[in-house]
Amino acid sequence: MSKSMITTLFRTLGDPSYLGPAVARFHADLAEPERVAELDRFLGGEARVLLATSAIGAGFDFNHVDAVIHLESAYGLTDFMQESGRTGRDPRRSGWSFCLVKPSERNPRSNDSTDRLEFRKYLNEQICRRRPILLNFGEVPRSCDPSWQLCDLCLRQKTQQDLVRQAVKQSYQESTTELEFLARATEFFTDSVGPLVMLQSMCLNMI
Ligand SMILES: [Zn+2]
């Protein structure tokens, strides 16, 4: 996130009618004492949100950071990973990394560095977010294990599968109900009208 965006967000979120003192900021242009004071407010718990540039990176390891929200695109996949790594430091809790970018950020540009192209691949990934990261580290690409915290793509796929499963179950239940109705109707007509005629017409209806 750029310094100008931090300034704007700090003014908006820091308004007493909104988050007030619950938001702190950190960027290279702040004087050292103010930077320290702002960090203290965040680490002490007074501020629950810290608006920061990439000046906060490796080494900023605090267990209580639940989520990193990337506003504006990262410079590259390496930066993105560094920034994301500020959360998930506590092995007992999941850390979340959200990325909010404009759709145009997905398109490669002629002056992109290799690292930035890798980041765009990450944004364009269709199967699982872990795959481009593992590939970047030269590892075999794998999707989220079902027992892990799923990435947004795997979660979406699972939700779709659950919906299909639900629809099949529903349809099965409905067809079971229809079959029961058919059996009862057949029984009724067999008793009252005669078996052959009604069985044929019911079969035709089913088709
Ligand atoms: Zn996944």
pLDDT at 200: 44
Q: DSSP assignment of 20-75, as one string?
A: GGGEEEE-TTS-HHHHHHHHHHHHHTS-SEEEE-TTS-TT---TT--EEEEES--S
pLDDT band at 191 (very low <50, low <70, confident <90, very high): low
Q: How far is the CA of 165 from the centre of ligand 1 (A)?
A: 20
Q: How far is the CA of 122 from the centre of ligand 1 (A)?
A: 12
Q: Does 49 have pLDDT greater than 70?
A: yes
Burial class (CB in 10 A: 0-12, 13-18, 19+), 181: exposed
pLDDT at 184: 77
Give Dmax (Cα) for the chain: 96
Structure tokens belonging to residue 195 = 């078996």
Q: What pTM value is reported for the model?
A: 0.73
Q: How far is the CA of 191 from the centre of ligand 1 (A)?
A: 59
Q: How far is the CA of 75 from the centre of ligand 1 (A)?
A: 23
In the structure, ligand 1 is a single-atom ion and the residues with CB under 5 Å from it are: 128, 144, 151, 154
Q: How far is the CA of 157 from the centre of ligand 1 (A)?
A: 9
Q: How far is the CA of 114 from the centre of ligand 1 (A)?
A: 23
Element (H, E) at 4: helix 3-13
Q: How far is the CA of 176 from the centre of ligand 1 (A)?
A: 36
Comparing CA positions, the residue from 78, 117, 123, 63 lying closest to residue 98 is 123
Q: How far is the CA of 167 from the centre of ligand 1 (A)?
A: 24
* Cα–Cα dist 77/75, whole Å: 7
Q: How far is the CA of 150 from the centre of ligand 1 (A)?
A: 5
pLDDT at 190: 59
Q: How far is the CA of 98 from the centre of ligand 1 (A)?
A: 14
pLDDT at 188: 66
Comparing CA positions, the residue from 71, 123, 62 lying closest to residue 100 is 71
Task: Output DSSP code: residue 200.
Answer: H
Q: How far is the CA of 64 from the centre of ligand 1 (A)?
A: 24
pLDDT band at 85 (very low <50, low <70, confident <90, very high): confident
Q: How far is the CA of 154 from the centre of ligand 1 (A)?
A: 4
> pLDDT by residue (tens digit) across 112-148?
999 999 999 999 999 999 999 999 889 999 999 988 8
Q: How far is the CA of 201 from the centre of ligand 1 (A)?
A: 51
